[in-house]
Amino acid sequence: MHTQILDRSDDFRALRREWQALLSSSAQNHLYLTHEYLSTWWKHLSGSARLRVILVRDGGRILAAAPMMIRQGTLLRWPVRRLEFIGAGWGYGGFILSKRKKECLKLIMGALQRLNGWDIISLGRTVEDPEVDSSEIAGFVSPKCALHECFPGGVPYISLQMTWKAYLAERSSSFRRNIKNRSRKLNRIGEVRFQRVTRLKDAGVAAATLMAWLRTTAERSWKADAKTAISSKADVFAFYSELVERLNDIGSLDVSILWLNDRPVAYIFGATYNGEFFEIDIAFDAELSKGSPGIYLRNCLLMELFQQNYRVYDFVAYFDYKRELTSRVRQHDVHVFYRRTWYPLMLRSLRSVVRSTMPRMMTDYSDLSWGRQADAGA
C-alpha cells in the first residue's frame, strides 16, 4: 500500500466514480463525504485554501481517502494555518476507510504530519467508523511532530423512529401550546401552504426558480442584515445553486417552503441520504417572526418525515434554541494537533487559559473558541 496526494482540483474532479465506489463500500457513506457535495463546496467556497486529498492505494485500487485542505483560519482570533477536512465549518468530515482500516488510517495520519504549511491539524465533527476507535488517531502522530488534544463535541438530532405524537409528548407543555398559537397567527394573516421539493422534475420546478424563491425569503430574513443569508455573497449563492442540481442528480434534494398566499415566507434547505435528513440552511421572513414561520415549517416537515421511515433529523450545527427541539446529541471527539513550533504551542497555551477561565465559551456541543471564517455555513 502507498499514499497519493492530490493537490489539483481537476484531479479531484476526475476521481468521482472511484470516490463513490469507495464511499459506498465504507462505513462513512455519508452525504457530506459524497463527491458531489465535496467538489461543489470546493469549487465555490474554497477561496485561497490549498487542496490536499490523500488516497491510500493498493495497486490501482483506492482503499481509503482523506478529503483535506490547508487554509488560513483563526484560533482565539489569532491567524493560524489549519489542516482540516474540506468544508470544515459547514458540516461533517471524515476519513473514508474500506479495507485494512487501521493500516490505512496510520498511512493517512503519517502523510498529514509530513505535509508542509500547517500550524494545527483540526479534526472535528467526524463521521466515525465503528470498527476504529477514534482515540487511536492520536497514536498515529509522532509526539515529536505535534502535541495532541482531544475534547468532546456533539451535534443535536431528532430521532424519527417514533410518531409525531410521541415526539410531542417528549416536549414541554409550552412547546406544544406554542405550536397551536403559531398556527393560528399565520392562518389569520392569509392562506398558509406547505411545499416540499424532492425532485425538480416531479415538482415541475427549475433549479433557478427554486433558488429565486429561496433568495426572496433569505433577503427578508434577519440573516440578510447579518450578511449571512445565502444570497449575501455571490459565491455562497452559487454554491447553493449548484448544490440543488447535484443533490437532485443523486436523489438527495429535500427543500421545504412555507407559502403565505403567493409569497414564500420560510424555507428549509435540506438533503436526505441513507435514511437521514440534514438541515443545511433555514430562513424566514423577519416581519412574520411573531408567527414563527420557520418553526411552523419545520413542524410540517417533521410530521411527514415521521411517517416516511427516516431515522434521524440532523441539525448539522448547534445553536442554543435547538435545546427546545431535542435532548438527543450525537457525541464525537474533536482531535487537534499543534505542530511543535513556538507559535502553535503558544496558541494552545492561550486556549487552555480560555477553557479554564471562561468555560461558557466551551459547550458540550461545540468549541466556540475555534474561529470560523466569515463565510462559514449557517
Q: Which stretches of the chain drop beneath a pLDDT of 70?
A: 358-378
Residue-by-residue DSSP string for 9-77 = HHHHHTTHHHHHHHHHTSTT--GGGSHHHHHHHHHHH-TT-EEEEEEEEETTEEEEEEEEEEEEEEETT
Is pTM beyond 0.95 here?
no
For residues 174 and 182, give the distance between their C-alpha atoms in angstroms, rounded to a whole number: 12
State the pLDDT at residue 186: 84
- Please name each of the domains of the chain with its CATH number: 2-155+332-361 (3.40.630), 161-310 (3.40.630.30)
**How far apart are the C-alpha atoms of 268 and 324, rounded to whole Å?**
18
Cα distance between residue 233 and residue 245, in whole Å: 19
The pLDDT value recorded for residue 336 is 93
Among 339, 288, 274, 238, CA closest to 127: 274
- Enter the C-alpha cell of residue 276: 437521514
Q: What is the pLDDT of residue 378?
A: 32
